[in-house]
């Protein structure tokens, strides 16, 4: 198999060429030990099997960013047979710097001049044969956006592989430095290394410490030799070696450009220039950015969520299908297998239901990347965000995480991959979970409906905006402390020309990213869900408690029997087993009807259940049959009693479960925030998915009557809480990590369990401290709930502004540097 590495600078259309050549035969993984995507594609051509790896875009091999190190390490460690270098044909001179570095490695190179259509429109005429002669490697023309050039690229790869024995190493004359290069080469010759000695000597003179460390102890002494060469070179020529090497490469690029490229059109204002006058305008840039972010948010989160109206019934149908084949429960005893299966299904579909949101979101990100707006977005906001240790590219993750009420931290954290600055990337990863999670909104709604009916608008404004200020504060604190020693990269900003995205490229990248979510997130969440299930189920009810509930259901059965004895259908329901089967049949029917849509859907459910058991169906829909109506009335009553008993059993099992014990054990700490064990359990049990917090609280605070009131009314009347309690709970929920899925993605992006646990326990600790202080102090001061929330909001905004105005003394106490260029 021919192993090919696809290399090129960012925004050269590399991914488009990769998709063009490999088609759908590709998969995404991670490079070992890092979080950068490794895209691998395969294709057959002229009886040769080819594996192509799409390396991250990199401007050079200077090891500033994670992507540059990954690309360099792959070429060092994997030793591909061929390097395919993608070059932007409309901007050849700048791209040749990386081309020279690739040529010097000694691996056969195929150069692909992409975007030939753009070059042609700009009047750029390229002498391809002359370029092949000067560089000594095949040069192929392509236009990835138009789907042109795939055949020529595959032909060049196979031919270069078959003729690689004839490959002549490319050599740039480094003039005064040549003698020093030869000195290092002589030292390298004494050690058997499967790498090009000249290239290795140049990299050592460039002080590529990562390479020297990778090569091992045999080369450690060469650092001293290189240092001595650098001192002699500087003393003799008064020049820095790295700067001199770069200067020679740029001069060589200039020579190749002038001999191979002719510009037949005078420079005229391009469409990109015209658009940038508006998009990057001093006064219009920020409003346009807000509009773009709003559209991304609206299309992905709002309209994507509306698509779940169509996916949820399908998932509910699947759930009901699985339930149908599971062992049916007795009147009040549910088989463990059934309970666990339903728990697992609920956990899975809660995550899978968000796939439409993620697919639209990833498609929009791919479109913005291809169009060229992502670098401009970073440029516009970098000056603001860098005051908090973030990056301009942190904008999209924070917006997706929930800059307004209703984001999702999972895609927010996943979209941090493109941030080159390691410190800013980690700060963004750890800040996104503080944004407003869509799954938390029902919880806020429950508390606001119960305690702040008159001030709901003001309170929702506080909740929806305070999280951004909290995220900025946390970012500033983290980058000034635990992240201060993280590497920073020079902020080199390229504004590529605008391009139309390809439909195929957008769909493939969106599907790949969604698959990563399904494959890595859902599987791990299900494993954790099993642990939570066990903690909620065991040790279970005591014998006395079980007997108490058995007596309640026995009394309900007796009442049911008395009411239906006179019915002509009595013989069908005269045993406990028959009544149990009827109740299960009735409840399943109601569940199916709830997820059916329209008259046709209802009719289909009726036909299905009629076919399933005609004898029982008459009791579900008795029509004008008086005896059947008699049983239907008694059936509805015993079904409600059974549900009530099952709720009581569930609540008692939760309170006595291992998780309930943890909730009780937390009360000595959480009491200062006004939390009882029920609130503690709601937070703990909802960690798999925050949507379940409302269900847990609704169950725990229900008054256990058939005519029970709405959840917010029941909580207001039965909890004994005040609005100040509610504010403390809301603040804790704001600061609490969204869910397990988010934490798994934090692990994926940081490649560290340590940071995952930090992302869990730091905000929880912060939440307990702040909510406890606010509740305790507010209780003494006699604050109302709105007053407490207002004081908290003002304090957070003031602190964020104060920290933002503080200068970043990066050279002294942050130990990094930042440089912004266009």
Residue 821 phi/psi, 5-degree rounding, is: -135, 160
* Residue 433: CA count within 13 A, CB half-sphere: 29
* DSSP element (H, E) containing 427: helix 422-431
The answer to whether 10 is annotated as binding is yes
The answer to whether 8 is annotated as binding is yes
The answer to whether 339 is annotated as binding is no
The answer to whether 401 is annotated as binding is no
The answer to whether 37 is annotated as binding is yes
The answer to whether 117 is annotated as binding is yes
> Cβ distance 134 to 260 under 8 Å?
yes
The answer to whether 723 is annotated as binding is no
The answer to whether 129 is annotated as binding is no
The answer to whether 392 is annotated as binding is no
Question: Which residues share a beta bridge with 148?
Answer: 143
| Start-end of H helices in 26-149 | 66-78, 92-104, 116-121, 128-135
Q: Which of 200, 171, 170, 168 is nearest to 183 (CA)?
A: 200
Q: CA-to-CA distance for 484 and 205, rounded, in angstroms? A: 29
The answer to whether 402 is annotated as binding is no
Q: CA-to-CA distance for 674 and 732, rounded, in angstroms? A: 11
The answer to whether 661 is annotated as binding is no
Question: Which residues share a beta bridge with 5?
Answer: 53, 83
The answer to whether 763 is annotated as binding is no
The answer to whether 698 is annotated as binding is no
Angle (deg, nearest 10), helices 441-451 and 456-480: 130
Q: CA-to-CA distance for 758 and 78, rounded, in angstroms? A: 34
The answer to whether 162 is annotated as binding is no
The answer to whether 660 is annotated as binding is no
The answer to whether 821 is annotated as binding is no
The answer to whether 13 is annotated as binding is yes
DSSP 431-480: HGGGS-BGGGHHHHHHHHHHH-STTHHHHHHHHHHHHHHHHHHHHHHHHH
> Cβ distance 412 to 402 under 8 Å?
yes
The answer to whether 189 is annotated as binding is no
* Residue 727: CA count within 13 A, CB half-sphere: 29
The answer to whether 651 is annotated as binding is no
Q: CA-to-CA distance for 582 and 586, rounded, in angstroms? A: 6
The answer to whether 54 is annotated as binding is yes
The answer to whether 720 is annotated as binding is no
The answer to whether 33 is annotated as binding is yes
Residue 541 phi/psi, 5-degree rounding, is: -80, 150
Q: CA-to-CA distance for 144 and 115, rounded, in angstroms? A: 7
Tokens encoding 768 = 């307990």
- CA 515 to each of CA 78, 302, 381, 510, 713: distance values in angstroms, whole numbers, following the listed order: 26, 22, 31, 9, 42
Peptide bond between residue 148 and the one before it cis (omega within 30 degrees of 0): no
Judged by DSSP in three states, 699 sits in helix
Taking residue 629's Cβ as centre, other Cβ atoms within 10 Å add up to: 15
The answer to whether 804 is annotated as binding is no
Taking residue 97's Cβ as centre, other Cβ atoms within 10 Å add up to: 16
The answer to whether 114 is annotated as binding is yes
SS3 content of the chain, % helix, strand, coil (to 5): 70, 5, 25
The answer to whether 9 is annotated as binding is yes
Contacts of 82 (CB under 8 A, 6+ apart): 2, 3, 4, 5, 107, 108, 109, 110, 157, 160, 161, 164
The answer to whether 22 is annotated as binding is yes
The answer to whether 147 is annotated as binding is no
Which segments are annotated as binding site?
8-15, 19, 22-23, 33-37, 54-57, 114-117, 143-145
Which segments are annotated as binding site for GTP?
8-15, 33-37, 54-57, 114-117, 143-145
Which segments are annotated as binding site for Mg(2+)?
19, 22-23
């Amino acid at each position: 198999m021919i192993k090919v590495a696809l290399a090129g600078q960012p925004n050269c259309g590399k991914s488009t060429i990769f998709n063009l050549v490999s088609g759908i035969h590709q998969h995404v993984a991670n490079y070992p030990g890092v979080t950068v995507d490794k895209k691998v594609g395969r294709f057959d051509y002229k009886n040769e099997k080819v594996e192509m790896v799409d390396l991250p875009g990199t401007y050079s091999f200077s090891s500033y960013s994670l992507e540059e190190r990954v690309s360099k390490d792959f070429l060092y460690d994997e030793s591909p047979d061929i390097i395919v270098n993608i070059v932007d044909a409309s901007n050849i001179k700048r791209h040749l710097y990386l081309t020279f570095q690739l040529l010097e490695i000694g691996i056969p190179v195929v150069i692909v001049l992409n975007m030939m259509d753009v070059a042609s429109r700009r009047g750029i005429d390229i002498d391809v044969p002359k370029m092949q002669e000067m560089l000594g490697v095949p040069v192929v023309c392509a236009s990835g956006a138009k789907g042109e050039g795939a055949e020529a690229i595959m032909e060049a790869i196979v031919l270069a592989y078959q003729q690689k024995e004839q490959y002549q190493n490319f050599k740039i004359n480094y003039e005064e430095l040549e003698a020093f290069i030869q000195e290092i080469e002589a030292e390298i010759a004494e050690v058997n290394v499967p790498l090009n000695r000249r290239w290795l000597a140049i990299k050592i003179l460039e002080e590529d410490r990562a390479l020297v460390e990778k090569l091992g102890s045999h080369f450690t002494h060469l650092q001293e030799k290189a240092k001595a060469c650098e001192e002699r070179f500087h003393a003799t020529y008064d020049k820095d070696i790295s700067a001199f090497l770069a200067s020679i490469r740029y001069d060589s690029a200039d020579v190749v450009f002038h001999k191979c490229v002719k510009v037949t059109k005078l420079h005229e204002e391009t469409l990109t220039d015209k658009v940038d006058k508006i998009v990057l305008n001093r006064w219009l840039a920020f409003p346009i950015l807000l509009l773009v972010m709003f559209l991304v948010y609206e299309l992905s989160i709002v309209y994507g969520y509306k698509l779940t109206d169509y996916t949820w019934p399908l998932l509910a149908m699947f759930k009901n299908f699985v339930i149908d084949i599971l062992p049916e429960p007795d009147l009040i005893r549910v088989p463990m297998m059934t309970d666990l299966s339903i728990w697992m299904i609920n956990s899975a579909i809660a995550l899978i239901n968000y796939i439409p949101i993620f697919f639209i979101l990833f498609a929009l990100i791919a479109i913005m990347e291809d169009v060229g707006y992502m670098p401009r977005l970073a440029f516009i906001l970098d000056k603001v965000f860098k005051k908090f240790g973030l990056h301009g590219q942190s904008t999209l993750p924070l917006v997706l995480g929930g800059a307004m009420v209703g984001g999702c931290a999972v895609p927010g954290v996943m979209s941090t991959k493109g941030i080159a600055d390691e410190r800013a990337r980690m700060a963004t990863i750890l800040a996104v979970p503080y944004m407003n999670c869509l799954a938390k909104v029902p919880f806020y709604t429950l508390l606001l409906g119960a305690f702040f009916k008159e001030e709901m608008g003001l309170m929702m404004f506080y909740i929806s905006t305070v999280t951004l200020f909290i995220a900025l504060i946390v970012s500033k604190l983290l980058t000034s402390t635990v992240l201060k020693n993280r590497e920073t990269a020079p902020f080199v900003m390229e504004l590529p020309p605008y391009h139309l995205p390809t439909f195929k490229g957008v769909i493939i990248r969106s599907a790949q990213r969604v698959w990563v979510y399904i494959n890595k997130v859902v599987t791990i969440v299900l494993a954790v869900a099993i642990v939570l299930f066990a903690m909620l189920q065991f040790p279970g009810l005591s014998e006395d408690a079980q007997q108490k509930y058995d007596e309640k259901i026995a009394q309900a059965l007796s009442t049911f029997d008395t009411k239906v004895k006179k019915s002509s259908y009595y013989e069908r329901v005269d045993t406990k087993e028959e009544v149990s089967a009827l109740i299960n049949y009735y409840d399943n029917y109601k569940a199916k009807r709830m997820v059916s849509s329209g008259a046709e859907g209802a009719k289909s459910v009726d036909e299905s259940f009629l076919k399933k058991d005609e004898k029982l169906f008459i009791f579900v829909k008795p029509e004008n049959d008086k005896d059947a109506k008699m049983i239907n009335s008694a059936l509805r009553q015993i079904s409600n009693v059974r549900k009530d008993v099952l709720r009581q059993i569930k609540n008692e099992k939760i309170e006595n479960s291992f998780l309930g014990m943890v909730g009780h054990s937390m009360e000595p700490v959480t009491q200062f925030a006004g939390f009882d064990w029920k609130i503690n359990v709601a937070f703990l049990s909802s960690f798999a998915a925050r949507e379940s917090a409302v269900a847990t609280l609704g169950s725990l605070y229900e008054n256990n009557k058939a005519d029970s009131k709405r959840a917010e009314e029941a909580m207001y009347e039965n909890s004994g809480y005040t609005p100040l309690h509610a504010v403390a709970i809301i603040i804790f929920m704001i600061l609490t990590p969204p869910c397990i899925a988010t934490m798994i993605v934090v692990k994926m992006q940081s490649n560290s369990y340590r940071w995952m646990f930090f992302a869990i326990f730091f905000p929880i600790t912060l939440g307990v401290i702040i909510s406890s202080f606010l509740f305790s102090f507010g209780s003494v001061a006699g604050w109302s709930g709105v007053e407490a929330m207002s004081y908290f909001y003002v304090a957070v905004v003031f602190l964020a502004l104060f920290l933002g105005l503080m200068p970043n003394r990066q050279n002294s106490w942050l130990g990094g540097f930042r440089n912004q260029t266009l």
